[in-house]
């Protein structure tokens, strides 16, 4: 038996969470370093996965592990990765150390006015972050539907405590009011996701009933169900398949979030600290879009095709609605939240366009959006901590006082608006091309989202960073060493993946092809390939022209 690499990658942060939580109250700094250490160890293991993963290998999943777990429910502890999960595990493992570093002092204030030695906010914060990381990684690895569901649901609990317990204290005059707003945001987050999850539970049980009925023994194994379908042993009636698909999709659309199920996100991101907001949008929400690719499309291919028109329209509405509301925001964090809704619209558009460019683009988009939002949001968090306000109107002329902060903020912003040369451009472009080749009208309308993105990012930059220096901003310190350590690697990655996305695309493409083959969809124009560089260079110009 080989070393259980996938289990280990999830076990390290889980052990880290327990270890961090166990650190005595007085040793706060030790707890922080311990958490950082465990997150770095996880990153190392994630890189080992990426290296060990062979994009050219046959079969849908690699590094698989399979153990009996709950035989009565037909549940096995089955892990495996395809290219898409490798990319997303790497993203998760990469972002968590930055989240921890950026949130280094977030619990200090809580610890300060804390008379009770048994209540340990610092340990709690970092332990919960690591717990979320472990569950997110497991849900990327699980190839058993039930196993996935368990972590998909269970991660809500630590997330809920992170949002409600460690919220942003900036911009609230009165502690009770702030607490009330935080807890209502946390409750909204939980209720939306729990309701989605429970509806999915009904569909999960339904799936079991269908497999038990037709295969003799109920199973949740993704590969077994896909094989049985291909072999014709398992046939679902159109009505059943659609209901099950809707049950799954509903949960993922809440998580992703897709309009009109998005309303929990701005509150949750606005009220939590910047690192937690990054955790929500860049890491946890990706599980939703990932699960659409892995479970919705592969388990219910016919129903996915049936639902495509509606989902594309909803995605389109998300893109435009999110962007328009971002333009209208006065609160920096809520602006980023609405921008994220717009971006999730692009991801879902790419997934359901059912073309290889679209889905490769969507997968790259998940990774790139994670990095770019992390960069923008974390710098915004540094800014907000300095000034103590989330309102755009409270800033002005920061550029002259803190040039490095302003510069990094601009790069994060430009990445968010998908400037060519930065990573998100590649993915957004692929999504649009992929959509256009099958649904030209939708592709064209979606492009408007890019224009709006330019508007909200640049107006945000202009109002906060340029113009006369406001009195309150006077003397604002520039980025400190710890903050630079957080931001610099993210920006470097954005530049690198913008110029040379091949490492990612070569991992992702075979998985996308496999997904499409399960769904039984061919590209309309098979000659356009993702990793054909010359083609991309040419298309850059098209996109610029389109702007």
Partner 1 sequence: MTSVAAVHTLWTMADGAAGSPLAPDGPGRIPAPHIEYAQLAPTLIVLGAAVLAVLVEAFWPRRGRYYAQVLLSVVALAAAFAAVIGLAAGGFGTTKAHIAAMGALAVDGPALFLQGTILLVSLIAIFTFAERRLDPAAHGRPVDSFAAQGAAVPGGEAEKAAVKAGFTTTEVFPLALFAIGGMLVFPAANDLLTLFVALEVFSLPLYILCALARRQRLLSQESAVKYFLLGAFSSAFLLFGVALLYGYAGTVTYAGIAEVVSDGAKQIDPALADTMGNDALLLIGGALVVMGLLFKVGAVPFHMWTPDVYQGAPTPVTGFMAAATKVAAFGALLRLLYVALPGLRWDWRPVMWGVAILTMLAGAVIALTQTDVKRLLAYSSIAHAGFILAGVIATSRNGISSVLFYLLAYSFVTLGAFAVVTLVRDAGGEATHLSKWAGLGRRSPLVAAVFAVFLLAFAGIPLTSGFAGKFAVFKAAAESGAGWLVVIGVLSSAVAAFFYIRVIVLMFFNEPKADGPTVAVPSPLTMTAIAVGVVVTLVLGLAPQYFLDLAGQAGVFVR
Binding to partner 1 (CB under 8 A): which residues in 210-249? 212-213
* Sequence-distant contacts of 25-33: CB under 8 A, at least 24 apart: 25/117, 25/118, 25/120, 25/123, 28/108, 28/111, 28/122, 28/123, 31/120, 31/122, 31/123, 31/126, 32/100, 32/104, 32/122, 32/126
**C-alpha–C-alpha distance, residues 183 and 406, integer Å:** 32
String of contacts with partner 1 for each residue 282-321, x by CB under 8 A: ----------------------------------------
Nearer to partner 1, 127 or 378 (CB): 127
Contact between 206 and partner 1 by CB under 8 A: the answer reads: yes
Q: Which is nearer to partner 1, 88 or 254 (CB)?
A: 254
Name which position in 19, 50, 195, 226 contacts partner 1 (CB under 8 A): 195
Residue placing its CB nearer to partner 1 in the complex, 110 or 317: 110
β-strand partners of 7: none
Binding partner 1 (rule: CB under 8 A), the pick from 71, 231, 471, 537 is 71
Question: Does 182 participate in binding partner 1 (rule CB under 8 A)?
Answer: yes
Least distance CB 178 / partner 1 (angstroms): 11
Q: What are phi and psi of 55, to 5 degrees?
A: -60, -25
Q: At what angle do helices 403-416 and 332-352 cross, to 10 degrees?
A: 30
Query: Alpha-carbon distance 76 to 207, whole Å?
Result: 15
The answer to whether 527 contacts partner 1 (rule: CB under 8 A) is no
Told to check if 175 binds partner 1 by CB under 8 A, we report yes
Stretch that binds partner 1, among 151-159, 363-371, 385-393, 487-495 (CB under 8 A): 151-159
**Is position 198 an interface residue for partner 1 (rule: CB under 8 A)?**
yes
Count the residues of the shown chain that bind partner 1, applying the rule CB under 8 A: 42
Q: Is 161 in the site for partner 1 (CB under 8 A)?
A: yes
* Residue (156 or 411) nearer to partner 1, CB: 156
Cβ closest to partner 1, residue 184 vs residue 466: 184
As a 3-state breakdown, the chain gives helix, strand, coil percent values, each rounded to 5, of: 75, 5, 20
Q: Does 545 bind partner 1 (CB under 8 A)?
A: no
Q: Is 70 in the site for partner 1 (CB under 8 A)?
A: yes
CA torsion angle for 205, 311, 326, 166 (degrees, to 10)?
Answer: 10
Smallest distance, partner 1 to C-beta of residue 175, A: 7
Cα–Cα distance for residue pair 146/61, rounded to 1 Å: 17
Compute the least distance from the CB of residue 78 to partner 1, in Å: 15
128, 35 Cβ separation under 8 angstroms = no
Q: Which stretch binds partner 1 (CB under 8 A): 193-201, 296-304, 359-367, 532-540?
A: 193-201
Judged by beta carbon, residue 72 or residue 527, the one nearer partner 1 is: 72
Interface with partner 1 (CB under 8 A), residue from 27, 55, 73, 531: 73
Phi, psi angles (nearest 5°) of residue 235: -125, 130
| Rounded CA separation 42/440 (Å) | 42
Distance CA 260, CA 252 (A): 13
Based on CB atoms, which residue is closest to partner 1, 120 or 514?
A: 120
- The residues facing 142 across adjacent strands are 79
- At closest approach, how far in Å is the CB of 244 from partner 1? 11
Are 482 and 101 in contact by the 8 Å Cβ rule? The answer is yes
Question: Is there binding between residue 186 and partner 1 (CB under 8 A)?
Answer: yes
Stretch that binds partner 1, among 190-198, 260-268, 360-368, 413-421 (CB under 8 A): 190-198
How, if at all, do strands 62-70 and 75-81 pair?
A: antiparallel
Region near partner 1 per CB under 8 A, out of 59-67, 83-91, 161-169, 325-333: 161-169
Q: Are 76 and 137 in contact (CB under 8 A)?
A: no
HEC sequence for 67-84: EEEEHHHCEEEEEEECHH
Q: Residue 98 CA to chain centroid, in angstroms?
A: 15
Does 190 engage in binding with partner 1 (CB under 8 A)?
yes
Residue ranges that bind partner 1, judged by CB under 8 A: 68-73, 116, 118-120, 149-151, 153-154, 156-157, 160-161, 164-165, 175-176, 179, 182-183, 186-187, 190-191, 194-195, 198-199, 201-202, 205-206, 208-209, 212-213
């Amino acid at each position: 038996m080989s070393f259980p690499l996938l289990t280990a990658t999830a076990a390290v942060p889980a052990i880290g969470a327990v270890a961090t939580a166990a650190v005595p109250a007085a040793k706060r700094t030790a707890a922080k370093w311990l958490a950082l250490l465990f997150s770095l160890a996880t990153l190392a293991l994630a890189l080992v996965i990426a290296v060990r993963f062979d994009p050219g290998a046959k079969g849908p999943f690699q590094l698989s592990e399979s153990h009996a777990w709950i035989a009565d429910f037909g549940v096995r502890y089955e892990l495996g990765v395809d290219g898409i999960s490798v990319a997303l595990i790497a993203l998760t493992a990469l972002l968590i150390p930055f989240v921890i570093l950026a949130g280094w002092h977030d619990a200090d204030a809580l610890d300060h006015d804390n008379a009770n030695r048994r209540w340990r906010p610092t340990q709690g914060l970092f332990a919960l972050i690591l717990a979320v990381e472990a569950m997110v990684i497991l849900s990327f690895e699980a190839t058993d539907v039930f196993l996935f569901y368990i972590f998909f649901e269970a991660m809500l609990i630590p997330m809920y405590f992170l949002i409600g317990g460690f919220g942003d204290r900036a911009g609230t005059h009165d502690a009770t009011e702030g607490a009330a707003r935080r807890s209502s945001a946390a409750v909204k987050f939980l209720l939306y996701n729990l309701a989605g999850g429970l509806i999915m539970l009904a569909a999960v049980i339904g799936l079991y009933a269908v497999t038990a009925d037709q295969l003799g023994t109920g199973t949740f194994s993704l590969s077994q169900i896909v094989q049985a379908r291909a072999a014709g042993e398992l046939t679902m009636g159109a009505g059943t398949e659609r209901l099950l698909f809707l049950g799954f999709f509903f949960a993922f659309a809440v998580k992703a979030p897709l309009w009109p199920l998005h309303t929990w996100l701005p509150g949750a991101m606005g009220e939590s600290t910047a690192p937690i907001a990054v955790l929500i949008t860049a890491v946890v929400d990706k599980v939703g879009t990932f699960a659409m690719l892995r479970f919705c499309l592969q388990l219910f291919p016919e129903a996915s095709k049936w639902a495509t028109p509606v989902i594309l329209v909803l995605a389109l509405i998300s893109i435009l609605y999110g962007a328009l509301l971002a333009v209208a925001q006065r609160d920096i964090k809520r602006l980023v939240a609405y921008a994220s809704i717009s971006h999730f619209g692009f991801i879902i558009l790419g997934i359901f366009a059912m073309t290889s460019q679209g889905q490769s683009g969507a997968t790259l988009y998940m990774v790139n959006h994670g990095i770019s939002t992390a960069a923008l949001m974390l710098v915004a968090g540094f800014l907000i901590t300095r000034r103590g306000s989330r309102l755009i109107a409270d800033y002005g002329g920061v550029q002259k006082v803190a040039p490095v902060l302003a510069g990094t903020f601009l790069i994060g912003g430009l990445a968010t608006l998908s400037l060519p040369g930065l990573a998100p451009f590649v993915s957004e472009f692929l999504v649009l091309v992929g959509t256009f080749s099958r649904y030209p009208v939708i592709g064209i309308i979606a492009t408007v989202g890019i224009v709006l993105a330019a508007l909200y990012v640049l107006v945000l930059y202009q109002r906060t960073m340029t113009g006369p220096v406001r009195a309150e901003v006077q003397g604002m310190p520039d980025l400190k060493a710890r903050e630079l350590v957080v931001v610099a690697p993210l920006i470097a990655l954005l530049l690198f993946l913008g110029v040379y996305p091949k490492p990612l695309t070569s991992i992702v493409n075979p998985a996308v092809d496999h997904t499409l083959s399960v769904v039984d969809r061919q590209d309309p124009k098979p000659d356009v390939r993702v990793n054909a560089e010359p083609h991309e260079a040419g298309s850059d110009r098209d996109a610029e022209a389109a702007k």
